[in-house]
Structure 1
Amino acid sequence: MQKKISFRLLAFSLLLTAICLLQTGCKFNPDMQTPGESYLQGEWQQDSVTMQKQLVSYSLYNLKFNCDSFFVSIKTFSKANTGADSCTKGGSWTEYAKGVYEQKDDTLHVRGLFCNADYSYKDPTGCFRSGVYEESFKVIKKTDSVVQFNPTSSVISINAHLIKRSTCNPKPL
């Protein structure tokens, strides 16, 4: 009797695994980093924002893409007092995030975590945002060295120019 039950359990688990593998939403994570988008590989910098002198606050982005991974530095400037001066340092501060990205058609989706400048994970009790960083951008490739990122969460475009080109050398995960 016990052999029959364990055979049925084994058959059921094999059937469930087969069904799962046939579904598109069920797949194993790769053991190697994927190559990402070749045109994005490298470091991109935003130098200014349109009408930035008239804005109460704005941010400048520095984006680094390596294979399917990203690292972003967001330097924010604000004329408004938004919190403790130890955090805002007289109206400017920098936040960092790292994670992975993927592009479908003209939309770039980045998802990661806020971190420190040295890529270590950020203490959630510190200044500003912590935890998940997620954003989608409509991407317009202007030239080989100029890309416009249009965030879905803002009306201010990020016009970034290439500082340093790199190539993807996938690493094991």
Structure 2
Amino acid sequence: MYLLLFGFSLLAFFSCTRLPNVQGKGEVFLQGVWNQDSIANSVKLLNYTQHRFKISCDSFYVDLTTHSKVNYYSDSCFNKGIWKEYAKGTYAVKGDTLMLTGTFTKANYKQKASGCYRNGQYISNFKIKSSSSTSLVLENLNDQRECTLVLKEKITCVPKEL
């Protein structure tokens, strides 16, 4: 019995491989600072969110600026219908889908545990409709709104130790 348990322990120990303590390289075509300069028909919408992404290696940072004619929050948070949220995390591209998984943060990208707007996990999926060296068109799979991004700064991935 002990020999069998010892054998399984050795098998488990030697079959495990340690993952490298280095950030992944991500997708070359996404590396950079991308800004959504305008929103189609924004005047007619009750609310909309503009995105600013910084994508470096396999990581993303996103600034979300929401404009709303409807108050979803307490008056102290509503801020006359314009507010910012921030998130960071990692991304993956599978087929034509960009999957972002991270957490909502403060403006300095440090953990946000409470406060106005959303807390906790940030999970968003986009269909990559088109991409070029200077533009990226995404469709949010939650609400089917199109997000047209313009490259503001190219970034070259230099993986960092985790």
**Do the two structures share a fold, i.e. TM-score over 0.5?**
yes
> What do residues 5-50 of structure 1 show as CA deviations (whole Å, max 9, x unaligned)?
2x321102233456x65xxxxx644311111011111100001111
Q: Which residue of 1 aligns with 2:27?
A: 37
Q: Which runs of 5+ in 2 are unaligned?
A: none
Which is greater in Rg? 1
Query: Normalization by structure 2: what TM-score?
Result: 0.93
8 Å Cα contact 1:49-1:156 kept in structure 2: no
Q: Which residue of 2 aligns with 1:84?
A: 74
Aligned residues: 162
Q: Which residue of 2 aligns with 1:95?
A: 85
* Structure 1 CA distance for aligned equivalents of residues 37 and 134 of structure 2: 14
Q: Which residue of 1 aligns with 2:148?
A: 159
User: Matched residues, percent identical?
Assistant: 38
Q: Which residue of 1 aligns with 2:59?
A: 69
* Structure 2 CA distance for aligned equivalents of residues 51 and 29 of structure 1: 47
* Structure 2 CA distance for aligned equivalents of residues 100 and 140 of structure 1: 20
> What do residues 115-168 of structure 1 show as CA deviations (whole Å, max 9, x unaligned)?
0110111122x1111001011111133421100111110121110000100100
8 Å Cα contact 2:50-2:66 kept in structure 1: yes
Q: Which runs of 5+ in 1 are unaligned?
A: 22-26
1:9 matches 2:5: yes
* Structure 1 CA distance for aligned equivalents of residues 27 and 131 of structure 2: 16
